Amino acid sequence: MEKNQETKWYNNRAKVIFSLQAFPPLGVYALLRSSAFTLKQKWLVAAGVAAFIGIFIYSGIGAKMNQFVIGLFS
């Protein structure tokens, strides 16, 4: 059972970090399921992701990007 648990994709640190950057919802899931990170590391990374998303929303970057993309196609 232990060997099967170690072969899961979410127990690979590199894959978890990549999924946090490329696909944040999947990355958060992988981070929470992973046994490769300590509880303190999980909380720090989760707080960092939440802060990044909060800054992104608060600053209005998403709205500016949306206007830019709409301008490209109109």
H or E element at residue 41: helix 39-59
Tell me what pLDDT residue 39 has. 93
Between CA 8 and CA 23 the distance in angstroms is 18
Q: Given this model, what pLDDT does residue 49 score?
A: 82
Tokens 């509880």 belong to which residue?
39
- E-strand ranges in 1-74 read none
Q: Minimal CA–CA distance to 70: which of 62, 57, 24, 60?
A: 62
d(CA 65, CA 71): 10
Quote the domain boundaries for residue 29. 2-72
Count of domains for the chain: 1
Give the model's confidence band at 28: pLDDT under 50 very low, under 70 low, under 90 confident, else very high: confident
